[in-house]
Amino acid sequence: MSASNPDLVHALRGGIVESFHRGALAIVDADGATVLALGDVQRPVFPRSACKVMQALPLVASGAADALGLTDAELALACASHGGEPGHAATAAGMLAKAGLGTEALECGAHWPYNDSAIKALAAAGAQPSALHNNCSGKHSGFVCLGCLLAREAGRDPAEFVRGYIRPDHPVMREVTAALAAATGADLDHAPVGTDGCSIPTFAFPLRQLAHGFARIGTGAGLSDGHARAARRLRQAVAASPFHVAGSGRLDTRLMQRLGERLFCKVGAEGVYGAALPEAGLGVAIKMDDGNNARAAEVVLAAVVQALVRLDDDEQRFVQGLSDAALVNWNGITVGRLQAASGLRGALRGLRA
Amino acid sequence: MSASNPDLVHALRGGIVESFHRGALAIVDADGATVLALGDVQRPVFPRSACKVMQALPLVASGAADALGLTDAELALACASHGGEPGHAATAAGMLAKAGLGTEALECGAHWPYNDSAIKALAAAGAQPSALHNNCSGKHSGFVCLGCLLAREAGRDPAEFVRGYIRPDHPVMREVTAALAAATGADLDHAPVGTDGCSIPTFAFPLRQLAHGFARIGTGAGLSDGHARAARRLRQAVAASPFHVAGSGRLDTRLMQRLGERLFCKVGAEGVYGAALPEAGLGVAIKMDDGNNARAAEVVLAAVVQALVRLDDDEQRFVQGLSDAALVNWNGITVGRLQAASGLRGALRGLRA
């Protein structure tokens, strides 16, 4: 921890910086060349949910998505950290039904929805959340669908076959981990291994490699043909159904609703963000030191999008409002601003020049 | 922002540091001598809600608390950032009633309770939150009670007199600001001024001075007789009714339920904490760079309490569990630890030796 990453986001109040967020940012092209590195982009970081699109590659590349007739919404949910809104839970249930299974197949655990309205609606109905409301239920339903295909190919009972799919040595998880390694080029056999919030393994590797993986996801370059086609299909599915990758009011949904296939972006826990900028052929990876997403990584991502994605004037204003936002108190009074630091802005301007 | 504060808290996963929190810590005695300074304790910081006990001094010192017959629970609520639980909202309503006024007198704005169960109960009842649920409603009710006394003394109508009490130049707010300046020794006339979440002014001054203010609150030394008596009464009220200073499951409540008058501690927004350690005659102030409370400032406070407050073995174990806590995922699996950094531990050990 001795190296000090630059401050990338400032929270201002009363004319001074009240709080600030340090972090690292890597922008890499599909050949793996580093276009911008701010802070330590070699330190191993857990990508957490930012890499879900990479973990979903086998679902499509295996043929499982086609065999089960998964829709755009379902493929988007397979890449999602969703808010547990009714539309998310129902879509996950639909994916499981296509695999001939039910909620009991999910091994992600249950938690109350992230979405406030969904919490209140469940509470008002006297209901409790299930694993369908877990923000990772779409990814896990995708794992179950992949497992269903593998079971059929092996002549095995799907329910029995998929059980324990969260274990590192399960055939499903081996496929998922191999896809992540192939996309990022990371040596996962020798990487620090942790357990993610949803109980699957998560591997720590350099932020630079996560950015490289996103450049490949955005361009297909450096991927196998099957993975390249799968990446394109997943990006198109998310662009067609951005609600399902996050949810009401969430940044990934809001950005991709506006920008469509010009951007694929995905939040991960602990202040991680990954993004593919297909037109520029670039991949982006962000890790905030303090693990803050909503107030830090999101602002950095917005500044990157503003600088490097082709935007019309309306879109510029929209994204500017995300990278330099008013902080408003309970009476609706503007009390400060949350903004991308000038050093970050300057570094991004340098790239465009 | 060029100076780099030390990392005080580490979040570990898979055997490595996943995220970390930098910040500053000041421990000062009642004479103003700095006992420990980690990081930049001279940078102006907004104390936010950490200084509510100082802002409540005039409520007691003026005689308003006695004139209106405020209880321990009500005085604790005047110092509180509460969870908006039914007991908190009812206590605020009771304070207003003693002033002969209602919820409409509050100028803090409304928000949904911080407490999850309170949110769900309101939603299940089809109700909306009011200003009584605002985490600052007790402080504001205290301001209204103080205004009620000032109105009576001036022969004015309380409802008319208290209106606009959140303005810096209102007689109520002038008393409140003067008490903060007297306790901390900060030159608030020349300090950066912001607007707090509840719309009253907040002033930025060095963390060292906030710690000095807490040393005075804990000992009475350096305060006027009236303020010293008020500080003692407020500390005793919070110790007698710790639920009212925060709420179910909240750190301030949990710590003071266990430790009583050996500790007065108070969270503030944006990663600020203040504490008085009366037996040691010390004041403590914490500001995390990133503004994180639940995961950063709280852990630092727990490490300070563990090192500097007289604790029996059970209490040691309890506080150790707060300064080195398991991180558990949705399936109840321990996936990491959240712990005070070794540098912080070492510096605190040095103080005890």
Question: Tokens 């000062």 identify what position?
Answer: B28
pLDDT confidence of residue A353: 63
pLDDT tens digits, one per residue of B238-247: 999 999 999 9
Q: Is the pTM of this model over 0.90?
A: yes
d(CA B207, CA B218) in angstroms, rounded, equals: 17
Q: For residue A230, how far is the Cα from the chain centroid?
A: 16
Coil, strand, or helix at residue B197?
A: coil
d(CA B102, CA B86) in angstroms, rounded, equals: 16
Chain A residue at shortest CA distance from B45: A18
d(CA B30, CA B218) in angstroms, rounded, equals: 8
pLDDT confidence of residue A2: 47
In a domain, B1, yes or no: no
Domain range for B209 is: 7-352
Contact list, A329 vs chain B (CB under 8 Å): 109, 195-199
pLDDT tens digits, one per residue of A48-71: 999 999 999 999 999 999 999 999
Is residue A133 within 8 Å of residue A118, measured between CB atoms? Answer: yes
pLDDT confidence of residue B352: 76
In a domain, A207, yes or no: yes
| Structural domain total, chain B | 1
* Cross-chain Cβ contact B19/A288 below 8 Å: yes
d(CA A72, CA A58) in angstroms, rounded, equals: 16
d(CA A14, CA A69) in angstroms, rounded, equals: 55
Identity at A353, one-letter amino acid code: A
Contact list, B7 vs chain A (CB under 8 Å): 1
On whether any CB of chain A is under 8 Å from the CB of B10, the answer is yes
On whether any CB of chain A is under 8 Å from the CB of B3, the answer is no
Q: Which residues contact A254 (CB under 8 A, 6 or more apart)?
A: none
The answer to whether residue B2 scores a pLDDT higher than 50 is no
In a domain, A322, yes or no: yes
d(CA B195, CA B124) in angstroms, rounded, equals: 33
* Cross-chain Cβ contact A19/B288 below 8 Å: yes
> How is A226-289 classified by DSSP, letter by letter?
HHHHHHHHHHHHHHH-GGGGS-TT-HHHHHHHHHGGG-EEEEETTTEEEEEETTTTEEEEEEET
- Between the two ends of chain B, the Cα-to-Cα distance in Å is 33
| A137: Cα within 13 Å, side-chain hemisphere | 33
pLDDT confidence of residue B48: 97
In a domain, B2, yes or no: no
Q: Which residues pair with B24 in a beta bridge?
A: B287
Looking up residue A89, the CATH number of its domain turns out to be 3.40.710
d(CA A112, CA A130) in angstroms, rounded, equals: 8
The DSSP code for A346 is H
Q: What's the whole-number mean pLDDT along residues B20-47?
A: 98
On whether any CB of chain B is under 8 Å from the CB of A197, the answer is yes
On whether any CB of chain B is under 8 Å from the CB of A155, the answer is no
The answer to whether residue B40 scores a pLDDT higher than 80 is yes
d(CA A88, CA A35) in angstroms, rounded, equals: 36
pLDDT confidence of residue B353: 63
Kindly report the nearest CA distance between residue B60 and chain A, in angstroms. 27
Is residue B322 within 8 Å of residue B299, measured between CB atoms? Answer: yes
Coil, strand, or helix at residue B231?
A: helix
| Of A297, A285, A344, nearest in space to A46 by CA | A285
Identity at A81, one-letter amino acid code: S
Kindly report the nearest CA distance between residue A228 and chain B, in angstroms. 30
Q: What's the whole-number mean pLDDT along residues B15-29?
A: 98
pLDDT confidence of residue A236: 98
pLDDT tens digits, one per residue of B133-144: 999 999 999 999
The answer to whether residue B342 scores a pLDDT higher than 90 is yes
Q: For residue B353, how far is the Cα from the chain centroid?
A: 29
Q: Which residues contact A155 (CB under 8 A, 6 or more apart)?
A: none
pLDDT tens digits, one per residue of B185-203: 999 999 999 999 999 999 9
Contact list, B11 vs chain A (CB under 8 Å): 270, 291
d(CA A339, CA A157) in angstroms, rounded, equals: 53
pLDDT tens digits, one per residue of A234-286: 999 999 999 999 999 999 999 999 999 999 999 999 999 999 999 999 999 99
Partner-chain residue, chosen from B1, B111, B202, that has the shortest CB–CB distance to A17: B1
pLDDT classification of A352: cutoffs 50, 70, 90: confident
- Cβ pairs A/B, distance under 8 A: 165
pLDDT tens digits, one per residue of A146-173: 999 999 999 999 999 999 999 999 999 9
pLDDT tens digits, one per residue of B270-307: 999 999 999 999 999 999 999 999 899 999 999 999 99
Identity at B116, one-letter amino acid code: D
On whether any CB of chain A is under 8 Å from the CB of B167, the answer is no
Tokens for B177, please give them: 């600001």
On whether any CB of chain A is under 8 Å from the CB of B221, the answer is no
Residues 43-62 of A with CB under 8 A from B: 44-46
d(CA B109, CA B133) in angstroms, rounded, equals: 9
Buried/exposed A35-47: b ≥16 CB within 10 Å, e otherwise: bbbbbbbebbbbb
Q: From the DSSP assignment, how many helices (H) and strands (E) are in chain B? A: 15, 12
Contact list, B333 vs chain A (CB under 8 Å): 195, 199
Q: Which secondary-structure segment (H or E) carries A232?
A: helix A225-240
Identity at B342, one-letter amino acid code: S
Q: What's the whole-number mean pLDDT along residues B313-335?
A: 96
Chain B residue at shortest CA distance from A337: B194
Is residue B185 within 8 Å of residue B152, measured between CB atoms? Answer: no
Residues 269-308 of B with CB under 8 A from A: 270-271, 288-292, 295-296
Q: From the DSSP assignment, how many helices (H) and strands (E) are in chain A? A: 15, 12
Share of chain B above pLDDT 90, in %: 98
On whether any CB of chain B is under 8 Å from the CB of A5, the answer is no
In a domain, A118, yes or no: yes
pLDDT classification of B3: cutoffs 50, 70, 90: low
